[in-house]
Amino acid sequence: MTNGMLKQLVISAGIISSQLMSSTVLAETDPVSAEQKSAILEEHLPLYELRTFTEIFDRIRNSYVEPVDDKTLFQYAIDGMLSNLDPHSDYLLPEDFSDLQESTTGKFGGLGIEVGIEDGLIKVVTPIDDTPAERAGIKSGDFIVSLDGEPVREMSLNDAIDRMRGEPGTDIELNIRRKGEPDLLEFVLTRAEINVASVRSKDLGEGIGYLRITQFQDKSGSELVSAIEELQSQAQQNNTQLHGLILDLRNNPGGVLDAAAEVSDAFLSSGLIVYTEGRISESDFRFSATEKTVAENTPLIVLINGGSASASEIVAGALQDHKRAVIVGTQSFGKGSVQSVLPIGGDKAIKLTTARYFTPKGRSIQAQGIQPDVYVEQSEVTTYEQSYYKESDLPGHLSNGDDDNAENPQKDLDADHEVSDNLLSKDFQLYQAYTLLKGWSVFQHHAYPAVKTTANKTQQDLKQD
């Protein structure tokens, strides 16, 4: 036990003792019954439950088939107390506390895989992009049956995570059960230093930019702003403008609450983003948008799925409530609670659920999730060739007449088809988002000049009158 922990225990014991002492004095000087005395004591401390705990602790220590030291028993008791509150509260030992701090900075050693526990097995929530797990073909929804030949049913979730992490360059064997596969799948992965890129971007063509956030980290907000500014700069260099953005939050398990607010703020110039409510005032927060934004009027689509949780749902919910974005995909995970990390003794901590969060319109996401505006399942699409004769294929066809002067539009058309076909074959949900934005940009391109011309004509007619 550390000196810090010992000091805290001594301080706590002193408080309890003083409370008990004052209660005893009250019991001796005031004419109260035995029942009232007991009630006064239990108001400050559940004495009966503590006696029961002490008796059980003593029985285990003295009668269990194998000796167990007091420190281990206390740790088991704390683990059980927190794990039975909800799936997200936990007791963090020094190495666990360090791992949590690493995850907020985006750097750790291991396989690059987000996992949970279901039916006693370790379930893959999502493999992190560009990591050994993702490159090996580990998929969301896979169940890990064994690690290096040892069944995971005999491990806690933390033990399994510790087993998967390790020195870069070392190997680990995973046996995986996958839906639709009759036999276990065997993977041998080589651990690596995982530097998770919080935000990555790509120009999809046609003035449409793609933004992917894999996990909300401390710098996700600033990284997103930089990525958007880079896409805007690329568009200007191509003598065009950014017609639309796709923000991909699929399989994003969440992360830092402040980062989610900063990401939302990049697209909003005013209004509430998210608020939290807990039992104590320190758990209540409100995050609002600032006037500064890099993409206030750019059409936006947000992609979500069942792996989008927590901070991802905060962003999707805020942008949906403000009607700032169209949400495309499938229903999100539904984690609407906030965990606070409370240090204990300097090198340990408890991760405790302290509040629920709500979207600007007061919607709770807990166990419900975000419903997309446009529901699109991920699909494998097989295209087939259709042969049509065109006028230009007919022998002796007339020339266009402008062939010498006109630029060849076929080059741009082929490039556009190449982007569409690539997305269609690899990512149907992203393809749908791309086509929605492309259709919107085409509509704006055709509709706006017509309105402008009509308005100008009306002004000229008024002047003539």
Q: What residues are annotated to the active site?
A: 310, 321, 335
b/e map 403-421, b = 16+ CB within 10 Å: eeeeeeeeeeeeeeeebbe
* 344 beta partners: 348
Distance of CA 159 to the CA centre of its chain: 23
What phi and psi, each to the nearest 5 degrees, are found at residue 9?
-65, -40
In Å, the largest CA–CA distance within the chain is 118
238 conformational bin, left if phi > 0, alpha if psi -120 to 50, beta if neither: alpha
How far is Cα 86 from Cα 337, in angstroms, rounded to an integer? 10
Q: Is 349 strand, coil or helix?
A: strand
Q: What is the enclosing helix (H) or strand (E) of 301?
A: strand 300-304
What phi and psi, each to the nearest 5 degrees, are found at residue 96?
-70, -40
- 263 contacts 315 by C-beta, under 8 angstroms: yes
* 52 beta partners: none
Write the CB contacts of 224 (distance below 8 Å, at least 6 apart in sequence). Answer: 199, 211, 213, 262, 263, 266
Q: Which is nearest to 360 in space by CA: 459, 441, 282, 265? A: 265
Q: Which is nearest to 155 in space by CA: 126, 121, 110? A: 121
Integer Rg of the chain from CA: 30
Write the CB contacts of 84 (distance below 8 Å, at least 6 apart in sequence). Answer: none
